[in-house]
Structure 1
Amino acid sequence: MTNRCIWAGTDPIYVDYHDTEWGVPEYDSRALWEKLILDGFQAGLSWITILKKRDYFREAFAGFDPNIVATWGEVEVEALLQNEGIIRHRGKIEATIGNAQAWQRIESDQGFDKFLWNYVDGKPLQPNRKTKADVHAQTELSVQISKDLKKAGFKFCGPTIVYAFMQATGMVNDHVVDCHCHAKLSA
């Protein structure tokens, strides 16, 4: 039997996400933006809801190309509000457009990837959590990154969302130590 983080459960979608994506360091600026946007849409919902709708989100948001999404306006917002494949929340949709514009500014200034990874000196934090109870919902660092993202114009990026994003993108290796993914992501 393979040991996994308990949150992965037995749902094949969760198990695959846990085993192949969650916690794997992501250094691509566009992919980082996509994951931050999806974490923002997840606020108040379960992550499995987002995973099941991820392909619909990708289609609806032009493959999560922030350079395209940054040009959108009310016409696109109204169309997205009619799209049953995604979470139809006006605030989150409008925030995504604004976040694309904020991404463009950071990307042209220093690179969104560098902006984020500089917080951890370019390598994943390795806290070596023993149990799920040792995993935090937010940290001082996620609070700081959240503040800095908001200062840059981002929305739906509070400290808890940012910490979930840090876990998902491998900025922190929060696989518990007895999980089969922990060791390979610690190397």
Structure 2
Amino acid sequence: MRTKQWWTGSPEANAYYQTEWGRPEHDDQRLFEILALLMFQAGLSWRTVLRKRPALRQAFAQFEPARVSRMQATDIERLLRDPKLIRNRRKIEAVIHNAQVVQHVQTQFGSFDQFVWDIVDGQPIVAPTTDLTKIARQTPLSKKAAIVFKQNGFTFVGPTLLYSFMQAAGLVDHYLESPK
């Protein structure tokens, strides 16, 4: 029996998979957006997150870390009342906090991109598979990445979320190959 792939559930998910997911990303703002979207996705479906993505982009200043980092308690309360968003206080606060950390990382490492790609020594890890449903939810590398992210001040970044981040941002390439 074949398991339905996550990107076949909606036009938004299919478009995201076809045009964005898994492509090596090096733009700090886009990397921050991927991280934030994955934080919002925790416990929810990608379909839900991608349907709400336009509203999330608007609410979080297109995920520009400098602007998000300046959000205040009044902004959080406003976002919690907006039905177009994923209204989870912990996730909203973590996105704002992590925007502040991204700025610190940019100062310390030169860019968020440099910080992120150092995890894989600057080169994507190519890991072909014949069945995407059998890919691990976390790996020793994602566990190490979670430690590094947390040591630098990030929150809401466990090894499972970071492995998804590594896949979505193209650090790990699980391309589908034909079974032999």
TM-score (norm. length: structure 1):
0.88
Q: 2:128 is matched with which residue? A: 128
Partner Cα separation in structure 2 for residue 6 and residue 92 of structure 1: 26
Q: Compute the displacement of 1:109 (Å).
A: 1.2
Comparing 113-122 with 6-15, greater Cα deviation is found at 6-15
Partner Cα separation in structure 2 for residue 6 and residue 100 of structure 1: 31
Q: 2:141 is matched with which residue? A: 141
Q: Compute the displacement of 1:118 (Å).
A: 1.2
Give CA-to-partner distance per residue, 1:40-59, whole Å, 9 cap, x none: 11111011111111010000
Q: 2:158 is matched with which residue? A: 158
Equivalent pair of 2:12/2:50 in contact (CA under 8 Å) = yes
Please give the residue correspondences for 1:13-162 in structure 2 after superposition, counting only pairs within 5 Å: 13-110=12-109, 111-162=111-162
Q: Compute the displacement of 1:6 (Å).
A: 3.3
Partner Cα separation in structure 2 for residue 58 and residue 178 of structure 1: 36
Give CA-to-partner distance per residue, 1:99-122, whole Å, 9 cap, x none: 011100001111110111011121
- How many residues align? The count is 175
Q: Compute the displacement of 1:133 (Å).
A: 4.0
Q: Tell me how large the CA RMSD over aligned residues is.
A: 1.6
Ranges in structure 1 where 5+ consecutive residues have no aligned partner: 180-187
Q: 1:178 to 1:83 in 2, by over 3 A?
A: farther
Partner Cα separation in structure 2 for residue 6 and residue 75 of structure 1: 39
Equivalent pair of 2:65/2:102 in contact (CA under 8 Å) = yes
Q: 1:17 to 1:178 in 2, by over 3 A?
A: farther
Comparing 32-41 with 5-14, greater Cα deviation is found at 5-14
Q: 2:6 is matched with which residue? A: 7
| Structure with bigger RCO (C-alpha 8 Å, 6+ apart) | 1
SS at match of 2:40: helix
Equivalent pair of 2:101/2:153 in contact (CA under 8 Å) = yes
Percent identity between the two aligned chains:
42
Q: Compute the displacement of 1:175 (Å).
A: 2.5
Partner Cα separation in structure 1 for residue 178 and residue 8 of structure 2: 15
Q: Compute the displacement of 1:94 (Å).
A: 0.9
Q: Compute the displacement of 1:71 (Å).
A: 1.3
Partner Cα separation in structure 2 for residue 41 and residue 78 of structure 1: 17
Comparing 8-17 with 106-115, greater Cα deviation is found at 8-17
Give CA-to-partner distance per residue, 1:141-178, whole Å, 9 cap, x none: 11111111111111111111111111111101113213
Q: 1:133 to 1:81 in 2, by over 3 A?
A: closer
The amino acid across from 1:170 in the alignment is G
The amino acid across from 2:53 in the alignment is R
Partner Cα separation in structure 2 for residue 67 and residue 127 of structure 1: 34
The amino acid across from 1:128 in the alignment is P
Partner Cα separation in structure 2 for residue 57 and residue 93 of structure 1: 10
